[in-house]
């Protein structure tokens, strides 16, 4: 047997065998995701989004307006469309259920995570077994934070789109480093980078920060070498390549950010961040690291203990330094996060989002570094006969023990986190089914979930299984892009005897249905009982309907902050109960008292039709209680009509006397779809441009003299 064949057996085949075993263990760990609707609060929203898009595609509706929460929003109009569109297209094309498509959309990425980590380290130049060690650590690193990477976030809070981004993140970073340093692989760098950014926008920001940090470190190394009189590669070309890559990524992701800029008036933003999104700060981050909460939650802190060894190995394996540089910068940003000022009303830069990137990069570096140290010790022991066998056995035993602890205990912890709705006795998933049947039979109107029933399954599953959208849904970036989210938040809490939050929500937001626990002290006691189970009940409160006459009594002040404050004041006043609204600045002034009534309302996909009879001689303003967006268009008796914007943030039409048919339709512009072609076209163009150079290098390699033949073993 030749030495080359021995090396091939030891490295290539052993690495692939190990990768196959790791992938199988990962698949077993997360198999329970197919048992029902997965846990993680936001996951239920993402499931509902996939179900809505799959249904729209089946019916040929490409407007993609989603009435499923917060008075409606434009699905995929801004960002995070990739993890929703792919399973939706799969369900629509195959006839599979939306639930199965969503379960696969969680399962497949987590199962492919080891392969992605392995390939990323190979692109960086690590040998096969070193790459395998990094893949194992990446797949079985376990943290306690709900903002964590890979499986942590997706099962602790439902960061489904971040899961997609973080699985691909190492590939995008590795290809990016190779492009910056060697000028090779622009097309795959661009492709993987776009997948990251279009899955989760802040993951795209983290990728840009990571590549910029690597380029900056190379420039600092060059400057230090110049000061010491040593030679080093110039940072000019990597810096230029970084600019080229950044421009192409920005251009290719225009489908995510350009609609925000053009139609910003219809973008609700993020007015209510949760407290820990600012980041842990230096003290808490240090405590989390010391107690193993970043990489070894619920098990002996093996990966945490190996960090110093892996860091020392960076001196021998300089490739691993490329992982440590952005990880250190991410740690710095997590530390300073609580001390950063807010970015405005929407607070779009939460520092804690760097945590997932930190965990992924450090896990790769630790697993690869520890494996590289083991291989070095194994090879160094070869000449030490007769002690080499004992030394090698000790080295292999230590690595094997660490691997077993990381894999077995990591799989145990993560498998325990994989829950579905039926696994929670306190949820009562089976009791939701009779309530869903009652919702289907109830008159139109949105749903409120209150009085002890507040969980994401009760909030979102009615939208999937009963076409009954919830009034308020917290979580999920597309949902928060609804401009009414900020106002529904104001009425989220209810104190019996002290406020009228359920009644006011029903009237303002057309949400007459209330699901709650029967024996809860915070339960609503008014209205009509439509259905009851042992634990829950469904009630119906008075509501004016989706379309109704209103009186415009004034105009809101100009400016986003001032207008929001004025809407909250209006919301808490008596004007909503009197069907009195205020127009947004630039949307007309006050009008007369209404003299009409709604006869019927018909809704199909992205269209709302209302047959309206107006009594008397005066005109009437009719409100359509659907989230305002600049791309709604309206007709009266088939003729175009201008839409108004009224409080809280709804559509309205001024209708002349007589009997008329009103129709409003969400018309997604064609250019928003054409923008999606830029990314693939940019990747193809990058491949075509770089192809001649690749061909020239291959020809030069073929013309070079062959290497000396390997000696026989």
pLDDT the model gives residue 343: 63
| Domain count along the chain | 3
Task: Looking at the structure, tell me whether residues 413 and 266 fall in a common domain.
Answer: yes
pLDDT at residue 2 is higher than 50: no
238 within some domain: yes
- Distance of alpha carbon 315 from alpha carbon 327, whole angstroms: 17
Q: Where is the domain boundary, 387, 420, 453?
A: 420
Assess if residue 184 is contained within a domain.
yes
Averaged confidence pLDDT in the chain: 88
138 and 45 housed in the same domain? yes
Whole-model pTM: value is: 0.91
Instruction: Looking at the structure, tell me whether residues 409 and 463 fall in a common domain.
Output: no
CB atoms within 10 A of CB 265: 14
Q: Which strand (E) or helix (H) includes residue 639?
A: strand 639-641
**Could you list the residue range(s) of the whole structural domain that residue 526 is in?**
429-540
In a domain, 3, yes or no: no
**Per-residue pLDDT tens digits for 635-691:** 999 999 999 999 999 999 999 999 999 999 999 999 999 999 999 999 999 898 866
DSSP string covering 626-672, please?
EE--TTEEEEETTEEE--EEETTTEEEEEE-SEEEEEEEEE---HHH
Q: Are residues 377 and 472 in the same domain?
A: no
**Within a domain: residue 635?**
yes
Cβ atoms within 10 Å, residue 118: 30
Q: What is the mean pLDDT of residues 609-637?
A: 90
Which of 486, 518, 540 delimits the end of a domain?
540
Q: Could you report the per-residue pLDDT of 389-421, keeping only the tens digit for each?
A: 777 778 778 888 998 999 999 999 999 999 999
385 and 251 share one domain:
yes
Per-residue confidence band for 385, with pLDDT thresholds at 50, 70 and 90:
low
Residues 243 and 352 reside in one and the same domain: yes
Residue 223 shares a structural domain with residue 359: yes
pLDDT in tens, 571-613: 999 999 999 999 999 999 898 899 999 999 998 877 888 888 8
Task: Tell me: pLDDT of 122 over 90.
Answer: yes
Judgement on whether residues 375 and 490 belong to the same structural domain of the protein = no
pLDDT of residue 172: 97
Q: How far is CA 146 from its chain centroid?
A: 13
Q: Are residues 377 and 437 in the same domain?
A: no
Hey, what are 657's tokens?
């006397």
pLDDT above 50 for 712: no
Q: Which of 506, 540, 574 marks a domain boundary?
A: 540
Residue 657 belongs to a domain: yes
Provide, rounded to the nearest whole percent, the portion of the chain with pLDDT above 70: 92
Residue 678 counted as domain residue: no
19-40 mean pLDDT:
95
What is the model's pLDDT at position 346? 56
Q: Assess whether pLDDT exceeds 90 at residue 549.
A: yes
Query: Does any domain span residue 658?
Result: yes
User: What is the pLDDT at residue 711?
Assistant: 42
CATH of residue 594's domain is 2.60.220
In this structure, the answer to whether residues 378 and 499 fall within a common structural domain is no
**Could you tell me which of 128, 55, 64, 130 has the C-alpha nearest to residue 98?**
55
Are 188 and 261 in the same domain?
yes
How many other C-beta atoms can be found within 10 angstroms of the C-beta atom of residue 10? 12
Q: Could you read off the pLDDT of 305-317 as tens digits, one per residue?
A: 999 999 988 777 7
Angle (CA) 136 412 36, round 5°: 105
Query: What is the mean pLDDT of the segment spanning 261-272?
Result: 82
Give residue-wise pLDDT tens across range 185-219: 999 999 999 999 999 988 999 999 999 999 998 88
- What are the start-end ranges of the E strands in 90-218? none
Same domain (yes/no): 54, 192: yes
Residue 449 belongs to some domain of the structure: yes
């Amino acid at each position: 047997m030749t030495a080359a064949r021995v090396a091939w057996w030891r490295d290539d085949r052993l690495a692939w065998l190990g990768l196959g075993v790791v992938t199988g263990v990962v698949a077993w760990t997360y198999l329970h995701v197919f048992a029902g609707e997965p846990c993680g609060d936001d996951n239920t929203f993402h499931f509902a989004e996939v179900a809505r898009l799959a249904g729209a595609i089946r019916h040929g509706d490409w407007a993609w307006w989603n009435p499923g929460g917060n008075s409606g929003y434009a699905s995929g109009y801004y960002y995070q469309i990739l993890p929703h569109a792919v399973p939706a297209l799969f369900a629509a094309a195959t006839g599979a259920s939306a639930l199965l498509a969503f379960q696969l959309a969680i399962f497949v990425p987590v199962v492919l995570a080891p392969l992605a980590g392995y390939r990323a380290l190979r692109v960086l130049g690590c040998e096969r077994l070193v790459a395998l060690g990094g893949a194992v650590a990446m797949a079985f690193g376990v943290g306690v934070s709900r903002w964590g990477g890979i499986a942590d976030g997706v099962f602790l809070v439902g960061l489904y789109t971040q899961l997609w981004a973080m699985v691909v993140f190492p590939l995008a970073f590795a290809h990016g480093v190779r492009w910056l340093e060697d000028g090779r692989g622009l097309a795959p760098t661009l492709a993987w980078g776009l997948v990251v950014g279009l899955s989760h926008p802040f993951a795209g920001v983290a990728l840009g920060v990571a590549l910029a940090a690597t380029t900056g470190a190379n420039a600092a190394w060059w400057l230090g070498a110049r000061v010491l009189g040593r030679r080093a590669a110039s940072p000019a070309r990597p810096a230029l390549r970084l600019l080229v890559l950044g421009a192409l990524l920005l251009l290719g992701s225009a489908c995510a950010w350009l609609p925000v800029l053009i139609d910003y008036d219809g973008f609700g933003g993020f007015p209510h961040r949760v407290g820990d999104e600012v980041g842990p700060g230096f003290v808490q981050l240090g405590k989390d690291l010391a107690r193993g909460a970043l990489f070894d939650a619920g098990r002996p802190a093996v990966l945490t203990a190996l960090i110093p060894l892996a860091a020392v190995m960076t001196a021998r394996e300089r490739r691993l330094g490329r992982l440590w540089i952005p990880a250190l910068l991410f740690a710095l940003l997590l530390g300073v996060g609580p001390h950063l000022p807010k970015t405005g009303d929407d607070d779009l830069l939460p520092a804690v989002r760097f945590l997932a990137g930190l965990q992924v990069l450090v896990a790769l570096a630790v697993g690869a570094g520890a494996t590289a140290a083991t291989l070095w010790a194994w090879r160094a022991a070869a000449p030490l006969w007769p002690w080499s066998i004992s030394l090698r056995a000790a080295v292999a035993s230590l690595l094997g023990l660490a691997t077993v602890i990381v894999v077995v205990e990591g799989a145990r912890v993560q498998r325990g986190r994989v829950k579905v709705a039926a696994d929670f006795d306190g949820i009562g998933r089976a009791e939701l089914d009779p309530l869903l049947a009652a919702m289907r039979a109830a008159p139109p109107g949105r749903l409120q979930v209150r009085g002890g029933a507040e969980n994401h399954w009760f909030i979102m599953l009615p939208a999937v299984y009963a076409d009954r959208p919830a009034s308020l849904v917290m979580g999920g970036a597309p949902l928060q892009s609804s401009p009414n989210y900020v106002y529904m938040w104001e009425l989220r809490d209810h104190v019996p005897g002290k406020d009228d939050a359920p009644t006011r929500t029903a009237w303002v937001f057309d949400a007459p249905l209330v699901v709650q626990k029967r024996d809860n002290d915070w339960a609503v006691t008014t209205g009509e009982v439509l259905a009851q189970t042992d634990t829950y009940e469904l009630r119906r409160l008075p509501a004016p309907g989706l379309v109704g006459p209103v009186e415009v009594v004034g105009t809101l002040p100009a400016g986003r902050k001032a207008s929001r404050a004025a809407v909250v004041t209006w919301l808490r006043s008596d004007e909503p109960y009197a069907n009195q609204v205020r127009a947004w600045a630039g949307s007309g002034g006050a009008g007369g008292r209404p003299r009409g009534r709604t006869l019927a309302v018909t809704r199909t996909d992205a269209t709302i039709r209302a047959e309206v009879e107006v009594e008397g001689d005066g005109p009437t303003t009719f409100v359509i209680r659907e989230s305002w967006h600049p791309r709604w268009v309206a007709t009266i008796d088939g003729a175009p009509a201008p839409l108004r914007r009224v409080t809280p943030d709804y559509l309205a039409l001024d209708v002349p006397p007589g009997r008329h048919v009103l129709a409003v339709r969400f018309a997604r512009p064609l250019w928003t779809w054409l923008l999606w072609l830029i990314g693939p076209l940019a990747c193809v163009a990058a491949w075509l441009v770089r192809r001649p150079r690749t061909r020239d290098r291959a020809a030069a390699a073929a013309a070079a003299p062959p290497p000396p033949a390997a000696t026989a073993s």
